[in-house]
């Protein structure tokens, strides 16, 4: 989908740092990507890879001392990473919606769902009380809450986990944002509810042209929901491309290992693929390719020279195996 329309969101050379007494830790290191209108970009990786920090930077919610040290975040042609707090606060909710992992942290337990929705709507849109309530009812219907007329005046604790997450999605949609940052939106839900939430996100993209950045560690969710996927490792993008291409023909050795660790129905194996070792801590990222201590295809060059993203068939991959002169080399099966 990338390239057929102007990007709604462009992230360029984003670097996020955490100054400490022992030096500066680089949590996100020079990453770039685009999301087009109506597209879901999945961002996947282990805990600590930098996925959620990237989402937080886009919506202006980086926790101090974390800071954007370089790069640009451009929303519909406007740079937003250097805006003052009040300006980004107006954009958050109006043009960018957010869905977080735990709906209880997004909903105020003391306020009814009606009050939370109508206040959010009236903050961003010029509506009177009746118009805002009507809009809130429409949203609850749209996200699939049965009996919205009766449920709208209930409090968060009166909803199940899956229904609370639907309310959070309705809250994120209040002002018809152009972009939604969804950070682990299905992690706390059972599988059948996960499928319903994924279906809902896909329908929103199709019906409203909303762009979604879907942050998760679950490749099953990515395979089902996303159009493209960015695989992150140690604060960098290891591979990015169409989801079917990455799932079926992973290029980067790390992505290849991730895909091999997913069980497939009807395909019997005695043992799933295992990637030895663990992702390095921020203060211990090795020189060269950060994956080199765990990689079965490592060369001397990998230990000293950091690979940049480069084309590999329909994807881009940060791996020396896919340099121009050696693009035909494949990761060991």
Q: CB within 8 A of 311, min separation 6: which ones?
A: none
- Give the model's pLDDT for residue 325: 41
Residues making up the chain, counted from first to last: 333
Q: Is the pLDDT assigned to residue 333 strictly greater than 50? A: no
Q: Say which residue, 230 or 90, is predicted with more confidence.
A: 230
By the 8 A CB rule, do 243 and 228 touch? Answer: yes
Distance, CA of 15 to CA of 203 (rounded, Å) = 32
Please tell me the total count of domains within the chain: 1
Residue 53 forms part of a structural domain: yes
**For the chain, what percent of residues have pLDDT higher than 70?**
92
pLDDT tens by residue, 230-270: 999 999 999 999 999 999 999 999 998 888 766 666 666 66
Residue 153 forms part of a structural domain: no
Distance, CA of 222 to CA of 7 (rounded, Å) = 20
Residue 274 forms part of a structural domain: yes
- Give the model's pLDDT for residue 107: 94
Distance, CA of 304 to CA of 321 (rounded, Å) = 14
pLDDT tens by residue, 271-328: 667 788 899 999 999 999 999 999 999 999 999 999 999 999 899 999 999 986 444 4
Please confirm whether the linkage preceding 196 is cis (ω < 30° from 0): no
With bands split at pLDDT 50, 70 and 90, how would you rate the model's confidence at 122? very high
- Give the model's pLDDT for residue 3: 40
- Of 164, 166, 107, 118, the closest CA to residue 142 belongs to 166
Q: Say which residue, 9 or 267, is predicted with more confidence.
A: 9
Distance, CA of 171 to CA of 55 (rounded, Å) = 18
| Ordered DSSP codes for 175-195 | T--SEEEEESTTTTS-HHHHH
What is the side-by-side strand order in the sheet with 23-35? 23-35, 9-20, 67-75, 78-79
- Give the model's pLDDT for residue 1: 36
| Domain containing residue 247 | 9-95+175-326
Residue 107 forms part of a structural domain: no
Q: Is the pLDDT assigned to residue 149 strictly greater than 60? A: yes
Average confidence score pLDDT of the chain:
90
- Give this prediction's pTM: 0.90
Structure tokens at 147: 């009996």
Residue 192 forms part of a structural domain: yes
CATH number at residue 265: 3.40.50.300
Torsion, CA 165, CA 108, CA 88, CA 64, rounded to 10: -100
pLDDT tens by residue, 35-81: 999 999 999 998 899 999 999 999 999 999 999 999 999 999 999 99
The mean pLDDT value for 167-182 works out to: 93
Query: What is the distance of C-alpha 65 from the center of its chain?
Result: 22
- Give the model's pLDDT for residue 327: 40
Residue 189 forms part of a structural domain: yes
Q: Is the pLDDT assigned to residue 187 strictly greater than 90? A: no
Q: Is the pLDDT assigned to residue 182 strictly greater than 90? A: yes
Q: Is the pLDDT assigned to residue 132 strictly greater than 50? A: yes
Structure tokens at 95: 């043009």
Residue 317 forms part of a structural domain: yes
């Amino acid at each position: 989908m990338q390239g057929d329309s102007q990007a709604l969101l462009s992230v360029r050379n984003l670097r996020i740092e955490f100054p400490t007494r022992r030096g500066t830790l680089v949590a996100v290191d020079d990453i770039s990507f685009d999301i087009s209108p109506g597209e879901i970009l999945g961002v996947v990786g282990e805990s600590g890879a930098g996925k959620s920090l990237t989402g937080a930077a886009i919506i202006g919610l980086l926790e101090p001392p974390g800071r954007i040290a370089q790069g640009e975040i451009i929303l519909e042609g406007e740079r937003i990473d250097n805006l003052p707090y009040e300006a980004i606060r107006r954009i958050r909710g109006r043009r960018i919606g957010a869905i977080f992992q735990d709906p209880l942290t997004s909903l105020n337990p003391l306020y009814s769902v009606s009050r939370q929705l109508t206040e959010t709507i009236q903050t961003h849109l010029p509506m009177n009380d009746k118009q805002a309530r009507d809009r809130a009812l429409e949203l609850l219907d749209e996200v699939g809450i049965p009996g919205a007329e009766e449920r709208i005046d209930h409090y968060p604790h009166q909803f199940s986990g899956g229904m609370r997450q639907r309310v959070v999605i309705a809250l994120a949609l209040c002002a018809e944002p152009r972009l939604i940052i969804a950070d682990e939106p299905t992690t706390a839900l059972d599988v059948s509810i996960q499928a319903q939430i994924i279906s809902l996100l896909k329908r929103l993209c199709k019906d409203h042209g909303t762009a979604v950045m879907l942050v998760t560690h679950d490749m099953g969710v990515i395979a089902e929901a996303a159009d493209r996927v960015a695989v992150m490792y140690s604060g960098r993008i290891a591979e990015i491309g169409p989801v079917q291409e990455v799932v079926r023909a992973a290029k980067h050795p790390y992505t290849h290992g991730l895909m091999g660790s997913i069980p497939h129905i009807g395909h019997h194996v005695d043992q799933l693929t295992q990637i030895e070792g663990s992702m390095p801590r921020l203060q211990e990222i090795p020189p060269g390719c950060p994956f080199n201590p765990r990689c079965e295809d490592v060369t001397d060059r990998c230990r000293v020279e950091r690979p940049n993203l480069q084309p590999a068939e329909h994807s881009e991959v940060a791996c020396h195996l896919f340099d121009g002169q050696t693009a035909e080399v494949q990761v060991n099966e």
